[in-house]
Copies of this chain bind each other. A is one copy, B any other.
Amino acid sequence: MDPACSCELCELRGLFFESLKKEYADLICSGKVEKAFKQGETIIKEGTHIKDFVYLKSGLVKLYRRDDNGREQIISIAKPFDYVSLLSVFSTDRYNYSVTALEDSVTCNLNMDDIRTIIKQNGNLALNLLQKMSVLADTLILDSLEIRKKHLRGRVAFLLLRFANEIYFSNEFELPLSRKEMAEYVGMTTENVIRSLSEFRKDGILKIYGKTIQIVNMETLRSISEFG
């Protein structure tokens, strides 16, 4: 094995390498490129030719599209272990969304041709990928339906709960999104995101210090998210 290849130590290796024989793992590993991105930097640009299979080692990124009027629509927030390029990567040769870093992030890029070659010879990897892609697609679709059926306050509550419980695992966190981006995520206007946050603050559900949010009353927030 290539001694310069540290994939065996990578905290993500299980996702990929658990299903691969050593020789294949080495091929992937030696072909990989790690890239670091600062907050705000573009990782993938919509319309770009797909060459790499990208996953996120650390940080936080947003996937989004720009519509005809130049407005952005955020598709999802991806955290480490998520396969950033997974959706488009097998369906087309160009990305149909962009990805930018919400926090300083590190990606690991694997060569797409290598991946294809290995899949053809390795059924376990294929099943593994099918499963991950299936989970991802399911999640995105269910989230989308979930958000759609809520009122504005419920959408903002939903987002805050997501950050608290599934990303930062804390009642207090710094929002990685601007108010505008939150609006782009849940399909409402910036003003109404701000208004909802202000109302939550006035009702004693949150404390807000700029981008830092402290959830004071998790239960109420939860019931607003479910319907209130």
Contacts and interface: CB of A to CB of B under 8 A. Distances in A.
Q: Is the interface of A mostly helix, strand, loop or mixed?
A: helix
A42 interface: no
Interface stretch (A4-12, A25-33, A85-93, A199-207): A85-93
B89 A141 contact: no
A67 B227 CA distance: 12
A208 interface: no
A129 interface: yes
Interface in A171-228: 187, 226-227
Contact of A134 (B122, B127, B133, B138): B133
Chain A, interface size: which category?
35 or more
This protein's copies in its complex: 2
A68 B86 CA distance: 30
Interface stretch (A54-62, A103-111, A113-121, A157-165): A113-121
A126 to B, nearest CB: 3
A218 B120 CA distance: 45
A170 interface: no
A140 to B, nearest CB: 6
Interface string A49-76: 0000000000000000101110101010
Contacts of A116: 127
Interface string A88-104: 11111000100000000
B148 A148 contact: yes
Count chain B CB atoms within 10 A of each CB in A65, A122, A135, A138 and give the residue with the most. A138
A116 to B, nearest CB: 7
A142 interface: yes
B140 A137 contact: yes
A86 B187 CA distance: 27
A152 to B, nearest CB: 14
A149 B66 CA distance: 12
Contact of A141 (B71, B121, B141, B148): B141
